[in-house]
Structures are given as structure tokens and as C-alpha cells.
Amino acid sequence: MKVKYFAWVRERVGKAEEIIEPPASVRTVEELIAWLSGQGEAYAYAFEKPKVIRTAIDHAHVKADAAIAGAREIAFFPPMTGG
Amino acid sequence: MKVKYFAWVRERVGKAEEIIEPPASVRTVEELIAWLSGQGEAYAYAFEKPKVIRTAIDHAHVKADAAIAGAREIAFFPPMTGG
Amino acid sequence: MTCPVAIRIQEDDFDIAREIAVLTRSRTDIGAVVSFSGICRADDDSSKIAALTLEHYPGMAEEEIKRHVDEAMSRWPLNGVTVIHRVGRFMPGQNIVLVLTASQHRRAAFEAAEFLMDYLKTSAPFWKKEESAAGAGWVEAHARDDEAAARWTKS
Amino acid sequence: MTCPVAIRIQEDDFDIAREIAVLTRSRTDIGAVVSFSGICRADDDSSKIAALTLEHYPGMAEEEIKRHVDEAMSRWPLNGVTVIHRVGRFMPGQNIVLVLTASQHRRAAFEAAEFLMDYLKTSAPFWKKEESAAGAGWVEAHARDDEAAARWTKS
């Protein structure tokens, strides 16, 4: 599945997007964040405060308990500050 | 004192402004409207529903019980419909 | 905080972009500009309007608008206010009124613009006469406009 | 009721007068047009801002704005909506965002514009990075913006 990062999440991870293959045991957004945090220092830093991270699946906002099954694109970013 | 009329009050009275000299017994806006109503058919028609008429003394909205003493200019008009 | 105020009653049309430019030119403290333009409609709920004539009370109209602009400035932290009310005869589609408010934050700009429009409708001395197929007649005041203005006196 | 909708994310500046003209051209059913322009300020409450960079999530940003425009159209009788959000690097005084709403009456136009701005702030995927004397840093979300957006879910 494709993962995208924005704003300081992108800067901390060090890339804007990548293809990841989490194990089948990773079922929710929350679990995916925990799994990503274990993928190295950059990820641990980006996701150090998981409650602050917002997530979108296929361009729609989702909550931490949302299932990731079938997702084509998952994006992680800080609270939005547009407008 | 100078009196001005606007919108349909002006049309009914048949003039935009005039100088009037009401007797000293006419002290309030309400009394002035009653006195004007007795000045002929055009005035009676213009002021037939005195509660609908709005009044301004020297460019400020006033209520029916406002004193007219010292007024330089009194204006009568229907509820406003600008904007 | 500088808050330039412009109030004009005129027959000529206005140019919103120009008015906003005047209000914001060489300033960097404005974060939000709200504009309201009121336009002559062809349909007044029931009848088909051919034209609208706006009459006003010269002198009092400017003073009454100024009083409400002062009131708005005392209620919200504004960085600029422009009110232009046209008078004369208008066809559907033509501009009638413009209210511009500028502030640091959007909420103040929105609220002040809506406040000013509500008071312009109910307390500024302007009157509309409509021309339709049925003839010409003075527009009656709407209860909904009085209710809209009354909102601002509650707290 | 025709309600044309335009949503654009662009680097270029916008021209409010032109956008209003596009929205109202050859229509006589619009009585009220509200515009909101959001401008880059030099002062963000505490620090002095030299420049602001706007990043967005292409694709999702347009879709998210569209969802809120649809929501606004279901809540208010609108005759037209335009939302333009710029991205890139901005200096104080430069335009960032434009929301235009057109309706028969002013209340719907005001409320829809404020609703759209509140949601743009809290739910459209845009992020601001500020440059100041102290360096560059991402702008933190304001609790007041969440509160502003939450107003619309009460009834």
C-alpha cells in the first residue's frame, strides 16, 4: 500500500511517500502507526506523539480505529492549518 | 421648524419639505403627527396609520413620545428598506 | 490599531477589488477581509421586478451609517471598514450596496459585516420603490430584517 | 436553482472582482454575494513573520473542499460557490484563500462563507510553515479554529 506524509511528518520521516508492506496482523490505523514507529529512528520521531497524527485513507479523514484493509493510499499528517 | 418627508409619506403629503409652525401645545412627535393629520386631506392620508410612521429629529431616530422642543429638522418616513 | 473608515452614498457603481485594495494597501496586519455586495434581484419573492429606485435622506443616511460603523468598531477589533450605498434607479443584476470589513482574524470581519448589513437594512434611512408589471410600489419592510438586527442586541 | 461551483488550488493570485463577475454574470436571481479573503499577516500573535509556505495534499484537498461545499449547498439555498486556495510561498500582505458565496438573501451567503472558512481551517489538508527571525517552523493548529468549526455541528 502507498503511504504519504505531509508537513512535519514528511520532514521527520524524510520522504514524501513510499510503498509499505505491513504484516497481516496490522489491521487498524493505530496499529499501522505503532508498526511504522518501529521502522527506525526517523519513524519513531515522526510518530512519537501518535495522538497528534491525523490520518486519511483514500483522501478521506479517518479515526485511529479505522480498518486499513483495502486502502490504496494512506496519508499521515499533523492537524491542518490552511485557510 | 423644518419638516421633511420621505418615500410614500412624501408622495402622500405631496411635498419633500416645508416649514411648519405648530402651536405651543404640540410637544411630542406623537402630538405633532396628530396636528399634521389635521392640516388637510393629504396629511390625513399620509399619517393615517401613525404607528407605521418613523421619525427622526436632527438626523437621529426618535420614538413617538420624544419632545420636539429645540428641533431644527424633523423627518417623517416609512420603515426603512435599504441595504 | 489603525482602522480607516470610508462611508459613501453615490449614484455610481463601485469596484470591489479597488475598494479592497484601498483598504489593504501597504498593510501587513490584516488577515481577513469580508465583502458583502447587495445586488438588485429580478424576483422579490412574489413579483417580477423590472427596476428598483433607491431614495435616501441625505445627511442622516451618512450619520446613521457612521454610528453603526462606530458601534461595530467598539465591538470587534477591526482594521478597516468601507460602506458604499448607491442611490438612484437600478436594473436587476446591478450593485446596490457594498460593506467591507478588515480584521486580523476572520470571525471579527464576518460578524462586523453581517452586523452592519443588518443595521443598514433596518435603520439607515433608505427606501426602495419597485417597478413591476403590476405598477410601481414601495417595498415593505420585512419582519425577518428586524429579527436579524435584533440578534445583535442580545448577548 | 443553478449553483455553479468552482474549486481551485493554485499558485497564482486570484482577482476577487473577476471571480464575482464570473459568479454573477447574466444572472438576476442573486441578491447577495459574500467574499472572504484570507491574507498573509506579518504578525502571528507573538512572532514577526517574514514569509509563509503553504503545503497541501493534492487530490484530497480538492475532494475535501468539495465535500464541504456540497454540505454548504445542502444547508443553505446557494446560487454559486467559489473556493480558491493558493499554495507556495507568500509574503505578508499577499492573498492566501478566497471563498465566495452567492445567494438570494444575505444570511445564507454570510453563513455559508463562514461555515466554509471554518472547515477549510480545520479539515482541508493544507499546512502552513512560517519563517521568522527565530527560524522556520510549522504553524500549530489553534483550538479556536476547532471551536469555530464545532459551532456548525450544534443545531
pLDDT tens per residue, range D93-148: 999 999 999 999 999 999 999 999 999 999 999 999 999 988 999 999 988 888 88
Query: What mean pLDDT is predicted for residues B56-73?
Result: 97
Q: What is the pLDDT of residue D1?
A: 65
Taking CB atoms and an 8 Å limit, are D39 and C32 in contact across chains? yes
Residues from chain B contacting residue C123 (CB–CB below 8 Å): 61, 80
Which is more confidently placed, D2 or D15? D15
Taking CB atoms and an 8 Å limit, are D114 and C110 in contact across chains? yes
Residue ranges with strand state E in C21-77 = 32-39, 43-44, 47-56
Q: Which residues pair with B73 in a beta bridge?
A: B2
Hey, is C54 helix, strand or coil?
A: strand
Hey, is C62 helix, strand or coil?
A: helix
Rounded Cα distance, D49 and D85, in Å: 20
Residues from chain A contacting residue D122 (CB–CB below 8 Å): 79-80
CA torsion through residues A9, A12, A17, A23, sign: negative
Residue D155 pLDDT exceeds 60: no
Taking CB atoms and an 8 Å limit, are D97 and A61 in contact across chains? no
Residues from chain C contacting residue B60 (CB–CB below 8 Å): 60, 63
Q: What is the mean pLDDT of chain C?
A: 93
Residue B72 pLDDT exceeds 90: yes
Do D60 and A59 contact (CB within 8 A), yes or no? yes
B14 falls in which pLDDT band (50, 70, 90)? Answer: very high
Q: φ, ψ for residue C118 (rounded to 5)? A: -60, -40
Q: Nearest C-alpha of chain A: how many angstroms from D106?
A: 22
Q: Which residue has the cell 493554485?
A: D10
Taking CB atoms and an 8 Å limit, are B82 and C127 in contact across chains? yes
Taking CB atoms and an 8 Å limit, are D57 and A7 in contact across chains? no
Task: Return the residue of B nearest to C83 by Cα.
Answer: B83
Residue ranges with strand state E in chain D = 5-10, 32-39, 43-44, 47-56, 78-86, 88-90, 95-103, 126-132, 135-138
Q: What is the pLDDT of residue D48?
A: 87
- The predicted-structure confidence for A16-64, as pLDDT tens digits, reads as follows 999 999 999 999 999 999 999 999 999 999 999 999 999 999 999 999 9
